[in-house]
Amino acid sequence: MPVDDATPIAIQVEDLHKSFRIPTSRVDSLKERVVRPFATRDYRELRALDGVSFEIERGEFFGIVGRNGSGKSTLLKLLASIYRVDSGTIRMAGRMAPFIELGVGFNTDLSARENVVLNGVMMGLTPSEARNRLDAVIEFAELEEFVDLKLKNYSSGMLVRLAFSLLLEVDADILLIDEVLAVGDAAFQQKCADAFHEMKAAGKTIVLVTHAMAQVETYCHRAMLIDGGRVAAIGAPDEVGRQYLRRNFERAGDGGGADASGAGRDAAVRMLDASLLDAAGERVNSVEQGEKLRLRIRIEALEDFAALGVGYMIVNSSGIAVAQLRALVGGEPPPRVKKGERYEIETSADNLLAPGHYIVHCGINRVLEGGIALDLPSAIDFVVFGGDEDRGLVTLPQETATRPMGAGDR
């Protein structure tokens, strides 16, 4: 994305603050109010955003990343006018599709035809415009035969297609999207990518909010890292991505981290790098189904160990732990690891994972004494693409034998 001074600004955010009051004892009935009218209601002030400023240019595909709870979703909801700002200003040029998730507002009791009109009006079309665009929406979604079917009878794939083609047809200048791209099969992903290129060519601005760096590096021109309600980094996606991972590692290792599991308590190992590799040994963030899954980690021991092991937990987007991988540092039998020694451990496995988005939690363990030397939640994240739109968590390699049965068979 060539950035020059002439490029007009599409979104301008200045010194945005937003905090939520979390009641420590929630008073949500009138009865409690009446019974104890003067009971002091205690609030915990949660600062979700603390002085955020940035600008997005027209035609940019802008990624906002951050860990859970960093404030990125709050920022998106403020941009979308779902929450009200405490202080600071947001300015926008052009019409915004006020949707942050595909398919919000679909009524499953109504047909696709009615839903397209209703949703089109929600997104700012007039009813007649929405009716005129119905055919185009249905055609792009390839749902001509099902236009009068109630949405409750649609498959999830059909729903996503309908929602996505509707989003394309409403002609908004600015689109706000919250983690929707890791859905569907490879063909749909390709369709998304094509559509986004067209939007970019048409001068539309897209803001994508996600905690998955892989999506940002794939689609975005520029990215911003939000941490603790502040802008931690803004710039090229790969640079922001590196910062994001570095921060995750630091947090896991700095003793006071977010993980109470004892992660940082005795961080005796330093993480140098953790990545997913392709067949050529290059860092990647997606892997095709059936290819080898190659995970590489580089560590430095900060004290002496009798033996060290690496454990990976692969978690899918529903939060289900799908698979675990283990390796010993230095091979088998594990050697003593001395303070200051550095190791690179590469583990590969057949990729049987169903297409989708995955996060890898990584732990370095003291093999003989027991206990965790370093815990790295969300060390790596990647997308598995390819294959059919399978159900299930994994695709098992299968063999089938079949033959006709004769009359004598029982």
Asked if 12 interacts with another protein (CB under 8 A), we say: yes
* Sequence-separated contacts (24+) of 39-48 with Cβ below 8 Å: 45/19, 45/20, 45/21, 46/19, 46/20, 46/21, 46/22, 47/17, 47/18, 47/19, 47/229, 48/18, 48/19, 48/20, 48/74, 48/229
Is the sign of the CA dihedral 131, 136, 137, 138 positive or negative? positive
CB 274 within 8 A of CB 376: yes
Least separation in angstroms between residue 46's CB and another protein is 11
Q: Which residue lies nearer to another protein by CB, 76 or 376?
A: 76
With contacts defined by CB under 8 A, how many residues of the chain interact with another protein? 45
- What is the distance between the alpha carbons of residues 238 and 222, in angstroms, rounded to a whole number? 9
Asked if 8 interacts with another protein (CB under 8 A), we say: yes
Q: Which residue lies nearer to another protein by CB, 26 or 410?
A: 26
Asked if 90 interacts with another protein (CB under 8 A), we say: yes
Region binding another protein by CB under 8 A among candidate stretches 91-99, 226-234, 269-277, 348-356: 91-99
Region binding another protein by CB under 8 A among candidate stretches 23-31, 62-70, 192-200, 288-296: 23-31
Region binding another protein by CB under 8 A among candidate stretches 60-68, 74-82, 156-164, 369-377: 74-82
- What is the distance between the alpha carbons of residues 130 and 255, in angstroms, rounded to a whole number? 55
Find all residues with CB under 8 Å of 180, minimum gap 6, and list them.
Answer: 101, 102, 160, 164
Q: Which residue lies nearer to another protein by CB, 114 or 291?
A: 114
Asked if 110 interacts with another protein (CB under 8 A), we say: yes
Scanning the structure block, which residue is given the tokens 């035809």?
113
Asked if 105 interacts with another protein (CB under 8 A), we say: yes
Among 51, 69, 94, 228, binds another protein (CB under 8 A): 94
Region binding another protein by CB under 8 A among candidate stretches 104-112, 227-235, 283-291, 312-320: 104-112
Q: Which residue lies nearer to another protein by CB, 83 or 188?
A: 83
Which of 300, 309, 351, 350 is CA-nearest to residue 330?
309
Is the sign of the CA dihedral 28, 31, 37, 40 positive or negative? negative
DSSP 367-385: TTT-SEEEEEEEEEEEEEE
Asked if 273 interacts with another protein (CB under 8 A), we say: no
Tokens of 322: 């799908």
Asked if 58 interacts with another protein (CB under 8 A), we say: yes
Region binding another protein by CB under 8 A among candidate stretches 124-132, 248-256, 296-304, 373-381: 124-132
Contact residues for another protein (CB under 8 A)?
Answer: 8-9, 12, 20, 28-31, 33, 58, 77-85, 89-96, 98-101, 104-105, 107, 109-110, 114, 117-118, 121-122, 124, 126-127, 173
